[in-house]
């Protein structure tokens, strides 16, 4: 099952990415590394929750799709109206 969410915006792609990263931070939370650092659920939970941005989201990973998109020769297209 795949979900597609679309929001129209007058901002450029770079402006949208900057705004999103300003909300969730620019460094992903390495969730797999955290359990070994905390002795209790409460301390683990507090650490994870400290990374929640004002929108309620956490950045867990950054993916640069550019390499594989170029490999399969997908061309960028503007899909706006």
Whether the Cβ atoms of residue 80 and residue 8 lie closer than 8 Å to each other: yes
Extract the tokens encoding 38.
């905390």
Write down the residue that tokens 């409460």 correspond to: 42
Whether the Cβ atoms of residue 53 and residue 24 lie closer than 8 Å to each other: yes
Tell me the pTM: 0.58
User: CA dihedral in degrees (67, 24, 20, 56; nearest 10)?
Assistant: 120
70/53: higher pLDDT: 53
Query: What are the structural domain ranges in the chain?
Result: 13-71
Whether the Cβ atoms of residue 5 and residue 36 lie closer than 8 Å to each other: no
7/26: higher pLDDT: 26
Q: What confidence score (pLDDT) does residue 6 get?
A: 77
């Amino acid at each position: 099952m795949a979900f597609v969410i679309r929001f129209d915006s007058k901002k450029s792609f770079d402006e949208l990415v900057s705004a999103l990263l300003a909300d969730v931070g620019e460094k992903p939370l390495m969730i797999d590394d955290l359990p070994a650092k905390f002795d209790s659920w409460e301390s683990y939970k507090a650490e994870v929750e400290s990374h929640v941005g004002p929108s309620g989201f956490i950045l867990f990973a950054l993916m640069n799709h550019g390499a594989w998109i170029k490999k399969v020769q997908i061309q960028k297209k503007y899909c706006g109206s």
